[in-house]
Amino acid sequence: MYRGAMTAQVIVLNGGSSSGKSGIARCLQAILPDPWLTFGTDTLVEAVPVSTRTSAAGIEFASDGEVIVGPEFRTLEAAWIAGIAAMAHAGARIIVDEVFLGGAASQQRWKNALGTLQVLWVGVRCDGAVAAGREIARGDRMIGMAASQAEVVHHDVVYDLQVDTTRTEALECARAIAARV
């Protein structure tokens, strides 16, 4: 559904690993007229204790790239989402760089926290093979994560706008998003 331009307080970029979300977020910060804070799920993962990144109750990264999320991580994630939502409710403009491993259920967690704030939901798509190539080039990802997440993160998620970074540069995607903000 196309809603046209809106005054967004929050932009949520959802896409698989190595789809280009972080590059788009940096470009948005550069081209949007007001200051926007960017928070990514990678920052959350890096912030949790190592023990939480290696236990079934926390978050595990399987050798095939699958990400398995347990209850300890979900508790920390809920607090993180609530904190970001609180900053937006206090007036900060926020760009969220997310990976909806649970598809629509992940989006619903954000919707619950963000409440009545104006949110622009953006799907960041990238062909799995292209994302897998970026993953290898980056050298900081579990091989297989990009391919395994390329489609599953979009399952039943409702967007205001979708961009595809397979053949489109981050700046061009950011301009399309900025036109909707």
End-to-end Cα, the chain, rounded Å: 16
Supply the angle between the helices 170-180 and 21-31 in degrees, to the nearest 10.
60
- Beta strand 59-61 with 67-69 is antiparallel
Q: Cα torsion at 70, 123, 117, 113 (round to 10°)?
A: -10
Give the tokens for residue 100: 């909806």
> Active-site residue among 34, 42, 127, 164?
42
CA distances from 40 to 14, 82, 84 (A): 10, 14, 11
Written as one string, the DSSP assignment of 61-97 is: E-TTS-EEE-HHHHHHHHHHHHHHHHHHHTT--EEEE
| Active-site annotation holds for 140 | no
H or E segment to which residue 38 belongs: strand 37-40
Q: Annotated active-site positions, please?
A: 42
